[in-house]
Structure 1
Amino acid sequence: MTAPQRRRAITFILVTLTLDAMGIGLILPVMPDLIREVEGGTLGRAALWGGILATTFAVMQFIFGPILGSLSDRYGRRSVLLISLLVMTVDYLVMAVAGSIWLLFLTRVIGGITAATQSTAAAFIADISKPEEKSANFGLIGAAFGVGFVLGPVIGGLLGELGTRAPFYAAAALGALNLVFGYYVLPETVTDSIRRPFLWRRANPFGAFRALSQLDGLRRLIFLVFLYEFAFIVYPATWAYFTKEAFGWSPGMVGASLALFGIGIAIVQGALIRPALKRFGERGTIIYGIAFNFTAFVLLTIITTGWVALAFIPITALGAVVTPALQGLMSQRAGDDQQGELQGVIASAKSIAMIFSPLVMTQLFWMFTNDTGLYFPGAAFALSAAIMIVCMITFLGRPQPAS
């Protein structure tokens, strides 16, 4: 692969991941109003349905992350990515016309399957990266998500002021354009030397986990991925409801706040991750990130003024160094023919967190804002702070081999 081909291919991968993040960001500002539009009821009830839809999305990611990752190990990254992108584009169009909560539910099923290609995209990055480059290059994946969280909420918030359906038409158009771009620029990185037969016993999440957990230290690191994601999901799960309840923010304001958060993530994972890894290494970077996230979650539970929360949002992104450092640490311990499988297992660990975290976080929000006598909108952030303590104990529980 020539240098220009490599740059174009990486651009497509990053744009694809940006669109995945945009899909989340597009939905968040309008989700409370969209659910109430098709289902009715209170804001608390809308939050419960939001948790159910997010969990459905995550169940599909959990099931199909290793499947698509293993399929890409066998048939190549290109075909898996392009087909999934086509289906994702159609899914957005269906969401744009959905008139019932059950049709929204169906679109989250399909959307979860197409979003499971994150593991394939990460495997592509691993294919073209030297071992010492992997953590930093995985930071580009995080930066792409950060850009998506900037563009998604901005587009979703602005178009949400025009109507709850407009953001989905925009996402479908962007998906179609990227599909055409990928068709012409994306090469295949899976060669016969690293191609691995597709086996159902390894493609399912549990079989893949059993196979990979035998590698040095991976079981504990995968569990850490689950814990960290469970806590971090408090943002997409409750932010729109929390800020509307605590500060009275509109969809546009919610979108602006998420855009600030995305800018912070893009800067941290696209630029700051490299000097952090150089100075602290993967181990020190992970410790720093966990500690910073704990501090951010605690502060969000006690902030009572909207403008203070808005000013603090970009700072919270400084803890986003954990995920790329963890991915790089694990990728270095897996073989070249296991990268798709490994990224699929990582995606499944994240998806397990996404299955349970939105339900827990939205239930906490509902319980502490539903006239039960104890009013505490930030209860979910307090839980996330406690989980960060468990993350630190898990990571430091045993001596960590040098990376």
Structure 2
Amino acid sequence: MAGEKRSQEDSHSTRVIRVVFLALLLDLLGFTLILPLLPSILDHYSQKGDDAYQSLQNIVDWFRGAVGVPMETKYNNVLFGGLIGSLYSLLQFISSPVIGAASDKHGRKPLLLLTTVGVTTSYVLWAVSSSFGVFLLSRVVGGVCKGSVSLCTAIVADLPCPKARSKGMAMIGVSFSLGFTLGPIMGAYFALRSVDAELFYQGPALLAVFFSISDILFILLMLPETLHQDGKDSSDASGVQEVGDLLNPVALFNFSAVTRTKEPPSKQQMRNLKVLGLVYFAYLFFFSGLEFTLSFLTHQRFQFSSMEQGKMYFFIGITMAAFQGGYARRIQPSRQIQTVRMAILAIIPAFLIIAVAWNLVLLYVGLFLYSFAAAVVVPCLSAQVSGHGTVRQKGTVMGILRSLGALARALGPVVASSVYWLSGAETCFVVSSAFFIVPLFLLGCLERHKED
């Protein structure tokens, strides 16, 4: 009987992982279609003399002057896109823990359907965005409603077996790699196929709507509810206190909302959870900053065109997918922290090599090590965090983790680009790579807690 029950659980876990993988892939394909088009979209609204665009341009001009960025169209587009990306990440920082906590009360599937409907609405707004204001509104709606990642990680966290959770987090990583590899290519292709040059973005936008509607139907028909009824509506915190814990940055770093349930984690678990959250934030803060400035470096040093930049990111995406599908999903839960340490140790020479790379061979050696770390760290940390808390807390835990990552991705590029233009590419990459000792130190603290 025990063996039969174990077999049923394994079969259920495998089905959930497959559905989550495909649902998130559909979501990410729609999300990434816009990435190669953003510079052209910004040029489009710039040439139209759009008032809302000019207002935001004034902020970009101020930032450019503050950090000494050259007056070049290429840099303007990257900075403008970075500003929009930071806004998107800040909205994710606010909404992710709220969405995660709501899923603990009302179920994963209803919240995933609701947020996907919101994302679909953002794509419809993009398709009809005759002004920059409407386009920016579409990004705001998308940022607020983009709950798929935190909800999918919560669904995987609901799985009873640590090994299944580890595999699920790795497969989420594979969906990211494939989405960010295939989506931009599809977006560029459909933009080039546009009949009306003025509305070149409508084809990709309508394709994003198609992917998102397909995702809604797929979730509705194929995704089982992983949060059982006895896991819902269990929080004993007041509404005001709960919202405060989900919006206050200090409370988020302390995972305060997790302690407001009827079965709060032990002090040992809370210490580990806080350390893992700090490791996650510190790693993504430094990583996202260097990731953002990488396109500056390759453009400035190697004169990479947009196509060459695309080939570089295609290499990164395919390499990450290979590591995640072939290696990361097989990492045993007991070895995840050790693997994270190894990956962070690999990323230090990766960025040092990129910093001094004056030929393409060295650059791609650095990018290979970079891809290995990017493929391993987040899935392993997510799997470790998913083991904390009861079923009543998984959505809140994973939502807070996603929120900390979004905050890191909002702040990291601003800091790194400032250092880049004030001190140069080499200084930026060398100094930032040295700071990866911070998450390594925190991992050591986590192990000491385990030994206490």
Give yes or no for the alignment of 1:243 onto 2:298: yes
Matched position secondary structure for 1:29: helix
Aligned equivalent of 1:388: 436
Structure 2 counterpart of 1:35, one-letter code: L
- In 1, the alpha carbon distance for the partners of 2:426 and 2:132 equals 27
Deviation at 1:297, TM superposition (A): 1.5
1:133-181 per-residue CA deviation (whole Å, 9 max, x = no partner) reads 3223211111111111221232234445557614333222212222222
Q: In structure 2, how many angstroms separate the alpha carbons of the residues matched to 1:395 and 1:161? A: 47
**2:210 matched to which residue of 1?**
173
Instruction: Give the TM-score taking structure 2 as reference length.
Output: 0.78
Could you say which residue in structure 1 is the equivalent of 2:184? 153
In 2, the alpha carbon distance for the partners of 1:24 and 1:381 equals: 29
Once the 2 structures are TM-superposed, how far is the Cα of residue 66 of structure 1 from its aligned partner?
1.0
Indicate yes or no: 2:341 matched with 1:287. Answer: yes
Q: Compared with structure 1, are the counterparts of its residues 6 and 55 closer, same or farther at alpha carbon in structure 2 (3 Å cutoff)? A: same
Counterpart in the other structure of 1:371: none
Residue of structure 1 in register with 2:379 after alignment: 324
The answer to whether 1:62 aligns with 2:69 is no
Query: Which residue of 2 is the match for residue 228 of structure 1?
Result: 283
C-alpha deviation, 1:286, in angstroms: 1.3
Decide which of 223, 227, 238 is 1:186's aligned counterpart.
Answer: 223
Change (3 A) 1:304 1:115: farther
CA distance in 2, matches of 1:133, 1:6: 7
Q: Which moved more, 1:95-104 or 1:148-157?
A: 95-104
In structure 1, the residue matched to 2:415 is: 360
What amino acid is the match of 1:387?
F
The answer to whether 1:110 aligns with 2:141 is yes
The match for 1:93 among 94, 112, 124 is 124
Does residue 1:297 correspond to 2:351, yes or no?
yes
Residues in 2 aligned to 1:48 and 1:345: alpha-carbon distance in whole angstroms: 28
Q: Do the aligned partners of residues 337 and 7 (structure 1) sit closer, same or farther apart at CA in structure 2, a change above 3 Å counting? A: same
Q: Is the 8 A contact 1:64 1:113 kept in 2?
A: yes
User: Unaligned stretches of 5+ in structure 2?
Assistant: 1-7, 48-71, 195-199, 260-266
8 Å contact kept, 2:97–2:403: yes
Cα pair distance change 1:254/1:36, threshold 3 Å: same
| Structure-1 residue corresponding to 2:402 | 347
The 1:253–1:270 alpha-carbon spacing in structure 2 relative to 1, beyond 3 Å, is: same
**Does the 8 Å CA contact 1:123/1:340 hold for their aligned counterparts?**
yes
1:313 corresponds to: 367
In structure 1, which of residues 195, 202, 209 is the aligned counterpart of residue 242 of structure 2?
A: 202
1:197 CA drift (Å): 3.9
Deviation at 1:2, TM superposition (A): 8.3
What is the SS of the residue equivalent to 2:345? helix
Point out the more displaced range, 389-398 or 284-293.
Answer: 389-398
Deviates more, 1:31-40 or 1:285-294: 31-40
User: In structure 2, what is the Cα distance between the partners aligned to 1:178 and 1:143?
Assistant: 17
Alpha-carbon distance between aligned partners in 2 of 1:31 and 1:310, rounded to the nearest angstrom: 25
Moved more, 316-325 or 152-161: 152-161
CA distance in 2 between counterparts of 1:5 and 1:223 reads 33
Aligned match of 1:33: 40
Could you state the TM-score of these two structures normalised by the residue count of structure 1? 0.86
Q: Identify the residue that residue 161 of structure 2 maps to in structure 1.
A: 130
Q: In the superposition, relative to structure 1, how do residues 104 and 389 fare at CA in structure 2: closer, same or farther (>3 Å)? A: farther
* C-alpha RMSD of the superposition: 3.0
What percentage of residue pairs aligned between the two structures are identical?
25
Q: 2:82 aligns with which of 51, 55, 72?
A: 51
1:72 aligns with 2:121: no
Answer whether contact 1:51 1:362 (CA < 8 A) is retained: no
Q: Offset at 1:77?
A: 0.8
Whether 2:194 is the aligned partner of 1:140: answer: no
Alignment check: 8 A CA contact 1:78 1:186 kept: yes
**Which protein has the larger Cα radius of gyration, Structure 1 or Structure 2?**
2
- Cα displacement (A) at 1:131: 2.8
Against the structure 1 CA distance between its residues 380 and 181, is the aligned structure 2 distance closer, same or farther, given a 3 Å change threshold? farther
Distance 2:419 2:191 in 1: 27
Distance apart, 1:90 and its partner CA: 2.6
> Deviations along 1:314-355, whole A, 9 cap, x unmatched?
442111211122122222232221111100110111011122
Distance 1:50 1:12, change over 3 A: same
Letter of the 1:391 counterpart: P
CA distance in 1, matches of 2:150, 2:341: 24
| CA 1:379–1:11: 2 relative to 1, 3 Å | farther
8 A Cα contact 1:149 1:261, kept in partner: no
Q: Write the distance in 2 (CA, Å) between the matches of 1:346 and 1:337.
A: 16
1:290, distance to aligned residue in structure 2 (A): 0.7
The Cα shift of 1:281 comes to 0.7
Tell me which moved more, 211-220 or 143-152. Answer: 211-220
Deviations 1:239-273 (A, max 9, x none): 44443343333333323322221222222222201
Compared with structure 1, are the counterparts of its residues 256 and 285 closer, same or farther at alpha carbon in structure 2 (3 Å cutoff)? same
The separation in 2 between residues aligned to 1:162 and 1:222, in whole angstroms, is 44
Displacement, 1:3?
7.4
C-alpha change, 1:45 and 1:100, in structure 2 (3 Å) is: farther
**Within 1, Cα distance between the matches of 2:418 and 2:327?**
35
SS in 1 for 2:435: helix
SS at match of 2:404: helix
CA separation of 1:277 and 1:5: change in aligned 2, threshold 3 A: closer
